[in-house]
C-alpha cells in the first residue's frame, strides 16, 4: 500500500506508531542461558545480569572460546566479582535504558545535568544544519528554560516568562515545512534527536507557530508602542498651538519683517508682506559693518530697546524642542504597523484552534485585541488632530505643509530661538566690554588731566623763584667780569684711570694752580 501522507506544518495529530517488530526479533526475544559443555581451562559460565529495563546493546565482537589459550588474559578474568553489590548494574540500567518511562530518576541534579550534556554532545544532527542548530541552542540557553517549558509558555501566553527580543530571534530559526516533515519521522525516537532538533520539533508541532509568536511579540511591545507614540503626538500638537498663540513670537516676527523691508528697500525683495519661517535661522549670515555682530544681534538689541517684554518669547514655546525631534512620517508608519498587527491578530483569532487543553492563546489575545483596538483608535484620533493643527499653522504663516514638514518647521523655530538667546547674551557682553573700555578711557583722561595740573603748578613755582633772584644774579655776574674771574679757564677734570703714577697727578695739579694764578 502507498505510504501515508506527510503531516502538515504545525499539525496536532501524532504520526502513526511504527509497526511492531516481527516475532522472534532480538528486541523481544529473552536472553537464553546457554551452558556450553566442556569449557576449557577451567572457565565457568558467565553470570547473567538481571536488568529491570531494556538497555542499549554494545556493538562489539566476542572472542570465540576456541580462540582462547591457557595463557590468554581472558582466561584469568572473572568480572562478576567487580560488582557484587549490583551498583554498577543499576547505574548502567539508569544511564543506558531504552525505556524512558521506567528510567530511574537521578538523585544528584548536577550529575544529571552533566550526563545530559555528555549525551547532547554525542548526538548528531539529522535534519537541521549546524548553524541553525547552534543558533537555536544559543536562544534556548539565553532563555534558561527547557524545551517543554518555553513551548508551554508560548501556548499559555505567559508574559512573565516570555521576552519579546528572544521570541523575535526565534522566528527565523523555526523549521521549514520540509524540515518539519523529516523531523516528524523521529518523533518516536525523540531522545535520539539533537536537543536543537527536539526544540524545533516541539515548536513546529504547534499550529501556525510563527503567526502566534508574532502576535505575542506585538502584545509584549504594545505598551512600548503606545508610550512612544502618545507623548510624541501630544508634544507636537501642543507645539502647534503654542507657536500660533504666542503674542511675543508675533512681535519678534514683526520686527524681523521691518528690518528685512528696510534693508531690501528699493530692491525686488523689498516691500514684502511676509517671509518664509525658514529665513529665521539665516539672520546670523548677514554680518554687520564691524564684522563682529550680525543681523540677529541687531534684532535682539532692537527688541530689547523697543519691546523688552518680548525678549523671553521662548518661554511660551515649551514644547518646540521636543516637537523638532518628531517626524510625522515616522509616527504615521508606526501607526500603520500597529494597524496591520491588529488586523493580523484578528485573522489569527478567526482561524485559531487550541493546541491542547492548556492553550490560552484565544482567550488572552482576544481580550487584548479589544483593549488594543480602543487605544489605537484614540492614538489615530490624536494624530489626525495634530495634522489638522499643523495644516492650520501652515495656512496661518502661509507656507506649504507638504514641502515644509512639521519637524523642519519646528527645527527652524528651535534654532532661531537658541540663536536669539545667544545673541542677546552676546549683546550684553559687548555692552559690558564697551563700558569697561569707556571706564578705562575716562580713568586715563583723568590721570592725564591730573598730571597736567601738577606740571603747571611746578612751572608756576619755578617761575616765581626765578623772578626774585634775577637782580642778585646780575650783580654777581658784573663783579666777576670786572675782576676777570669770569674768563678763568675751568680746571680740566682728570680721570684717575688715565693717570698712571703719582708724579703725573702732581704736575697736573701744579699746572692748574699756576694757570689760575696768572688769570
Contacts of 276 (CB under 8 A, 6+ apart): 399, 404
Site of grid cell 492650520 = 392
> Is the CB of residue 367 less than 8 Å from the CB of residue 444?
no
Question: Start-end ranges of CATH 1.20.58.630 in the chain?
Answer: 130-206
As assigned by CATH, the class of the 221-244+327-402 domain is: mainly alpha
Burial label for 489, CB within 10 Å (0-12, 13-18, 19+), is: exposed
Q: What is the pLDDT of residue 432?
A: 83
Q: What is the pLDDT of residue 2?
A: 42
Q: How far is CA 496 from CA 245, 493, 501, 515, in A?
A: 98, 9, 10, 21
Burial label for 43, CB within 10 Å (0-12, 13-18, 19+), is: middle
Q: What is the pLDDT of residue 324?
A: 95
Residue 105 grid coordinates: 530518576
In the DSSP assignment, the letter for residue 309 is G
Q: What is the pLDDT of residue 472?
A: 58
Alpha carbons within 13 A on the beta-carbon side of 67? 5
As assigned by CATH, the class of the 130-206 domain is: mainly alpha
* 3-state secondary structure at position 55: strand
For residues 148 and 131, what is the distance between their CA atoms, to the nearest angstrom?
22
Question: Start-end ranges of CATH 1.20.58.2220 in the chain?
Answer: 221-244+327-402, 247-316+405-459
Per-residue pLDDT of the chain (519 residues; tens, 9 = 90+): 444 444 443 344 444 444 444 444 443 444 444 445 567 877 778 777 676 776 656 555 666 777 677 766 666 666 666 667 776 667 666 656 665 444 444 444 444 554 455 444 446 776 777 788 777 778 777 777 777 788 888 888 888 888 888 888 888 877 777 777 777 776 776 666 777 777 777 777 788 888 889 999 999 999 999 999 999 999 999 999 999 999 999 999 999 999 998 888 888 888 888 899 999 999 998 888 888 889 999 999 999 999 999 999 999 999 999 999 999 999 999 999 999 999 999 999 998 888 888 888 889 999 999 999 999 999 999 999 999 999 999 999 999 999 999 999 999 999 999 999 999 999 888 888 777 888 888 888 888 888 887 777 777 766 655 555 555 555 666 666 666 665 555 555 555 555 455 556 666 666 666 666 555
Residue 226 grid coordinates: 503606545
For residues 126 and 190, what is the distance between their CA atoms, to the nearest angstrom?
12
Residue 223 grid coordinates: 505598551
Which string of DSSP letters, residue by residue, matches 28-52?
TSPPP----SS-GGG--PPPPP--S
For residues 133 and 139, what is the distance between their CA atoms, to the nearest angstrom?
10
User: Which residues does residue 97 pair with via DSSP β-bridges, in sequence order?
Assistant: 55
Q: What is the pLDDT of residue 512?
A: 66
CATH number of 247-316+405-459: 1.20.58.2220
Query: DSSP 3-state helix, strand, coil percentages of the chain (rounded to 5)?
Result: 65, 0, 35
Compute the CA torsion angle 495, 496, 502, 505 (nearest 10 deg): 20
Residue 125 grid coordinates: 544532527
Q: What is the pLDDT of residue 450?
A: 80
For residues 491 and 509, what is the distance between their CA atoms, to the nearest angstrom?
9
For residues 146 and 140, what is the distance between their CA atoms, to the nearest angstrom?
7
Q: What is the pLDDT of residue 97?
A: 66
Amino acid at each position: 500500500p502507498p505510504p501515508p501522507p506527510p503531516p502538515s506544518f504545525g499539525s496536532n495529530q501524532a504520526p502513526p506508531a511504527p509497526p511492531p517488530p516481527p516475532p522472534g526479533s532480538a528486541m523481544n526475544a529473552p536472553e537464553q542461558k546457554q551452558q556450553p559443555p566442556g569449557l576449557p581451562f577451567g572457565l565457568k559460565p558467565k553470570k547473567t545480569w538481571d536488568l529491570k529495563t531494556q538497555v542499549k546493546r554494545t556493538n562489539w565482537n566476542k572472542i570465540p572460546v576456541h580462540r582462547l589459550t591457557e595463557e590468554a588474559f581472558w582466561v584469568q578474568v572473572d568480572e562478576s566479582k567487580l560488582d557484587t553489590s549490583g551498583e554498577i548494574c543499576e547505574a548502567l540500567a539508569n544511564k543506558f535504558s531504552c525505556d524512558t518511562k521506567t528510567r530511574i530518576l537521578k538523585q544528584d541534579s548536577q550529575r544529571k545535568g552533566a550526563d545530559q550534556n555528555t549525551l547532547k554532545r554525542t548526538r548528531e544532527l539529522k535534519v537541521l544544519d549546524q548553524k541553525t542548530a547552534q543558533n537555536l541552542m544559543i536562544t534556548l540557553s539565553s532563555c534558561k528554560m527547557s524545551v517543554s517549558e518555553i513551548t508551554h509558555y508560548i501556548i499559555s501566553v505567559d508574559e512573565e516568562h516570555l521576552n519579546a527580543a528572544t521570541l523575535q530571534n526565534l522566528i527565523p530559526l523555526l523549521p521549514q515545512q520540509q524540515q518539519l516533515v523529516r523531523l516528524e519521522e523521529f518523533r518516536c525516537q525523540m531522545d535520539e534527536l539533537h536537543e536543537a532538533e527536539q526544540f524545533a520539533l516541539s515548536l513546529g508541532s504547534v499550529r501556525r507557530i510563527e503567526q502566534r509568536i508574532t502576535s505575542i511579540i506585538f502584545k509584549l511591545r504594545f505598551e512600548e508602542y503606545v508610550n512612544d507614540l502618545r507623548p510624541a503626538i501630544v508634544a507636537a500638537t501642543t507645539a502647534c498651538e503654542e507657536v500660533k498663540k504666542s503674542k511675543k513670537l508675533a512681535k519678534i516676527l514683526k520686527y524681523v519683517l521691518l528690518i528685512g523691508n528696510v534693508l531690501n528697500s528699493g530692491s525686488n525683495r523689498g516691500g514684502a508682506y511676509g517671509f518664509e519661517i525658514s529665513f529665521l535661522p539665516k539672520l546670523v549670515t548677514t554680518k554687520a559693518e564691524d564684522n563682529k555682530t550680525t543681523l540677529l544681534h541687531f534684532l535682539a538689541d532692537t527688541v530689547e530697546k523697543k519691546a523688552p517684554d518680548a525678549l523671553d518669547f521662548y518661554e511660551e514655546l515649551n514644547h518646540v524642542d521636543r516637537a523638532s525631534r518628531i517626524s510625522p512620517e515616522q509616527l504615521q508608519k508606526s501607526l500603520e504597523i500597529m494597524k496591520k498587527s491588529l488586523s493580523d491578530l484578528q485573522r489569527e483569532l478567526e482561524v485559531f484552534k487550541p493546541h491542547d487543553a492548556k492553550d490560552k492563546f484565544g482567550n488572552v489575545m482576544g481580550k487584548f485585541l479589544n483593549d488594543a483596538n480602543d487605544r489605537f483608535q484614540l492614538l489615530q484620533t490624536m494624530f489626525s488632530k495634530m495634522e489638522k493643527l499643523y495644516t492650520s499653522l501652515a495656512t496661518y504663516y502661509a507656507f506649504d505643509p507638504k514641502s515644509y514638514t512639521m519637524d523642519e518647521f519646528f527645527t527652524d523655530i528651535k534654532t532661531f530661538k537658541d540663536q536669539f538667546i545667544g545673541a542677546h547674551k552676546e549683546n550684553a557682553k559687548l555692552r559690558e566690554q564697551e563700558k569697561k573700555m569707556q571706564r578705562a578711557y575716562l580713568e586715563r583722561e583723568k590721570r592725564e588731566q591730573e598730571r597736567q595740573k601738577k606740571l603747571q603748578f611746578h612751572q608756576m613755582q619755578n617761575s616765581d623763584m626765578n623772578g626774585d633772584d634775577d637782580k642778585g644774579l646780575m650783580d654777581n655776574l658784573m663783579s666777576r667780569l670786572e675782576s676777570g674771574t669770569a674768563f678763568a679757564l675751568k680746571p680740566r677734570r682728570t680721570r684717575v684711570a688715565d693717570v698712571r703714577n703719582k708724579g703725573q697727578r702732581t704736575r697736573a695739579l701744579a699746572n692748574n694752580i699756576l694757570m689760575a694764578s696768572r688769570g
